[in-house]
A and B are shown apart, each in its own frame.
Chain A
Amino acid sequence: MKNGFRQSMAWLHTWTGLVVGWVLFFVFVTGNLGRFDGEIDQWMKPEAPVQTASVAQQLSAAQARLQARAQDAERWTVYLTTNRDTPHLRIRSEEPPVNGKRGKRTEEYLDPATAAPLEARATGGGQLLYKMHYALHYMPRSVSDWLIGICSMFMLVAIVSGVITHKKIFADFFTFRPGKGQRSWLDLHAVLAVLTLPFFLMITYSGLIFLVFTLFSSILGSNYGFGEKHRQEFNNELAGREDLLVEPFGTAVPLIDLNNLVAVLDERWGQNQVSTVEVIYPGDANARVRVSRNMESPLRSTDELIFNGTTGELLSEQPASGVAPRNIYETLLGLHESLFAGWTLRWLYFLSGLAGAIIIASGLILWVVKRRPKQIKQKSGPDLGFRLVEGLNVGTIAGLHIAIAAYFLANRLLPLNLPSRVDWEANIMFSVWLLALLYPLIRPIARAWIEQWTLAAAAFLLLPLVNALTTERGLNQSLAAGDWAFAGFDLTCIAAAGIFAAIAIHLQRRAKPATATTHGVIPGIAREANA
């Protein structure tokens, strides 16, 4: 398109990255927090301690609750606390599909001792925050799937064209020239991208694969037929779960007591190895119970036992590993979700995700820095498009953190009996973000950067304080009690506040000599180039 292949790719890299950069930044930051969604869940429900009930007791409670309120559902799923990512017993019921679309799903947390809903404040928790990275908010999944799919596709193209553009992949391993404006931004962008390229490619491609049955639904549709029913048929056929390929019989036969299965599970897998129990057609003569084992490797599919739901007879045993294409698919998804990862690997994931966010942010800033000298010389002032990018950069790269802090603060400060409290937490988060995006309209851009980073630092510093004041699990108590979900959350907030404050101080120092030695605001803006 341009004169050379590499130039064309540089052009493509710049524009694909710019157009969706802000959405991708949001996706990276919220998705990255999802590495610790279980811990964030705990922090956002300070009155609910981690549950320690036995598998049998959890199953009884779940069954009692589901039978009471979801008798007509087509499937039930019980998420047990034996899985590291489930601090509280969770149940889900799904109604039969309507017009080929997946039926309505309802989720609930339970207290295993009483089989009643968990007594805790209403909160979206870490789950909602993490779900935003693919479901966004305020829109149906059918819309968000396509939006996120398109943005991710842009990212894939940006990665490939970025690698092609990049000549000296080995030399750049060791190249960082700080304090040199545009050059430094390019170095930062490149060195992080080179270091994390395998992670970046994996997370992008696997992220797309999550959406593939929506985005390329015709590939499945042309072979199996369209709609949720056929999707499940495909899943079960591929996994070799013939015993699940049943239709409801139509006669009511009571479901077995699920906790009767525990003996068989313990014998096969050892104690506390179960992660989920799924019941298909509960209360029907053809009911099936599928029990999945905890994950032990990036392969997301696990060992499964399938039981007859009315007799408790073990029908079949599925190994985690299956046909090659399915293994590749499940491994990609498993690598993306990192549910198999222990503490060390989780933090490595988190740091890689952070690098990803910095790569995106530095790319966006680089676009501005590169064009600024020419733009500020224009008689009529910078173009509207340029100013738009500048404003979106401030409001997203700095402002999103304020919004996330606001989400956590709302969890502690909103009245506990507020109706639709869960919605309000998210509404506050997105209102704050909107304000941060509008803020550059009324402030010079250099000041806007400094002020938003300062505010982000203050907000994150406030979190441990507010937590200590409003709960009995403040940092002094949690550290003493070895309550690592709480201590870890508070300490991470303090670390984040420190980083944001350091950025603000750095920018403030840079801005000062510029305004003192030269006249007017514009040189000050130019100095902020290294925001």
Chain B
Amino acid sequence: MSKSASKNAGQELALYRWQVFGRILIAVLGGYLFALAVGILLTQILPLPRGSLVMSAVLASFALYATAIIWVFSVKSFRTLLIGVAGTLILLALVLFLV
């Protein structure tokens, strides 16, 4: 019994580690793409001259990136995280389509 319990614990640990790895990937790459996409989007929708637009978007980019990373690590369950990522993707695609 103790053997299967430790085996379970081992599996849980392995799963936990994979999830941490997954979160790092989502945070670093996903967060980057998110910040980039929102940055470019801002330059398309804000009513400012071209130079000011680019500069505003650029100034905000790291704040967007940091917010995304913090969010990825603050969500409790991995499933909620995946749903959130999917939701963001759909929303961004929708806005890009409309713009």
Chain A interface residues (CB < 8 Å from chain B): 1, 3, 5, 8-9, 11-12, 153, 156-157, 160-161, 164, 205, 208-209, 212-213, 215-216, 218-220, 222-224, 234, 237-238, 323-326, 328-329, 332
Chain B contacts for A11, CB-based, 8 A = 73
Q: Is A216 in contact with B51, judged by CB distance below 8 angstroms?
A: no
What's the nearest-Cβ distance from chain B to residue A318, in Å?
Answer: 14
The residue on B at minimum CB distance from A5 is B74
Pairs A-B, 6 closest by C-beta atoms: A238-B51, A325-B55, A219-B39, A325-B56, A12-B73, A237-B51
- Decide yes or no: A219 and B51 within 8 Å by CB, A1-B74, A9-B74, A212-B62 being known contacts: no
Q: Is A160 in contact with B62, judged by CB distance below 8 angstroms?
A: no
Q: Is A324 in contact with B52, judged by CB distance below 8 angstroms?
A: yes
Q: Whole-angstrom distance between the alpha carbons of A76 and B70 in the complex?
A: 45
Chain A contacts for B36, CB-based, 8 A = 216, 218-219
Chain B contacts for A9, CB-based, 8 A = 70, 73-74
Chain B interface residues (CB < 8 Å from chain A): 20, 23, 35-36, 39-40, 43, 49-59, 61-63, 65-66, 69-70, 73-76
B55 interface neighbour in A164, A208, A329, Cβ under 8 Å? A329
Most buried by A among B36, B40, B56, B73: B73
Chain B contacts for A1, CB-based, 8 A = 20, 23, 73-76
Q: Whole-angstrom distance between the alpha carbons of A5 and B70 in the complex?
A: 10
Chain B contacts for A153, CB-based, 8 A = 62, 65-66
Q: Whole-angstrom distance between the alpha carbons of A327 and B30 in the complex?
A: 30
Chain A contacts for B56, CB-based, 8 A = 325
Q: Whole-angstrom distance between the alpha carbons of A324 and B65 in the complex?
A: 22
**Given A8-B73, A323-B52, A325-B56, 7 more pairs with CB closer than 8 A:** A161-B73, A234-B54, A238-B55, A323-B51, A325-B59, A328-B59, A332-B59
What's the nearest-Cβ distance from chain A to residue B68, in Å?
Answer: 10
Chain B contacts for A12, CB-based, 8 A = 70, 73
Q: Whole-angstrom distance between the alpha carbons of A323 and B63 in the complex?
A: 21
Q: Whole-angstrom distance between the alpha carbons of A325 and B39 in the complex?
A: 14
- Decide yes or no: A216 and B74 within 8 Å by CB, A153-B65, A156-B66, A323-B52 being known contacts: no
What's the nearest-Cβ distance from chain B to residue A495, in Å?
Answer: 36
Q: Whole-angstrom distance between the alpha carbons of A402 and B98 in the complex?
A: 59
- Decide yes or no: A216 and B70 within 8 Å by CB, A1-B23, A1-B76, A326-B52 being known contacts: no
What's the nearest-Cβ distance from chain B to residue A7, in Å?
Answer: 10
What's the nearest-Cβ distance from chain A to residue B77, in Å?
Answer: 9
What's the nearest-Cβ distance from chain B to residue A451, in Å?
Answer: 37
What's the nearest-Cβ distance from chain A to residue B5, in Å?
Answer: 21
Q: Is B54 in contact with A223, judged by CB distance below 8 angstroms?
A: yes
The residue on A at minimum CB distance from B20 is A1
B69 interface neighbour in A157, A209, A224, A329, Cβ under 8 Å? A157
- Decide yes or no: A160 and B70 within 8 Å by CB, A216-B58, A237-B50, A326-B55 being known contacts: yes
A212 interface neighbour in B52, B58, B73, B74, Cβ under 8 Å? B58
Q: Whole-angstrom distance between the alpha carbons of A301 and B50 in the complex?
A: 19
What's the nearest-Cβ distance from chain A to residue B34, in Å?
Answer: 12
Q: Whole-angstrom distance between the alpha carbons of A328 and B52 in the complex?
A: 11
- Decide yes or no: A216 and B39 within 8 Å by CB, A1-B76, A8-B74, A209-B59 being known contacts: yes
What's the nearest-Cβ distance from chain B to residue A226, in Å?
Answer: 13
What's the nearest-Cβ distance from chain A to residue B36, in Å?
Answer: 6
B61 interface neighbour in A216, A323, A324, Cβ under 8 Å? A216
Q: Whole-angstrom distance between the alpha carbons of A220 and B50 in the complex?
A: 10
The residue on A at minimum CB distance from B43 is A223
Q: Whole-angstrom distance between the alpha carbons of A368 and B5 in the complex?
A: 31
Q: Is A213 in contact with B58, judged by CB distance below 8 angstroms?
A: yes
Most buried by B among A9, A156, A224: A156
What's the nearest-Cβ distance from chain B to residue A454, in Å?
Answer: 40
- Decide yes or no: A329 and B59 within 8 Å by CB, A153-B65, A157-B66 being known contacts: yes
The residue on B at minimum CB distance from A219 is B39
Q: Is A219 in contact with B61, judged by CB distance below 8 angstroms?
A: yes
Chain B contacts for A212, CB-based, 8 A = 58-59, 61-62
What's the nearest-Cβ distance from chain B to residue A238, in Å?
Answer: 3
Chain A contacts for B43, CB-based, 8 A = 219, 222-223
The residue on A at minimum CB distance from B64 is A216
Chain B contacts for A215, CB-based, 8 A = 61
Q: Is A208 in contact with B53, judged by CB distance below 8 angstroms?
A: no
Q: Is A209 in contact with B62, judged by CB distance below 8 angstroms?
A: yes
Q: Is A325 in contact with B52, judged by CB distance below 8 angstroms?
A: yes
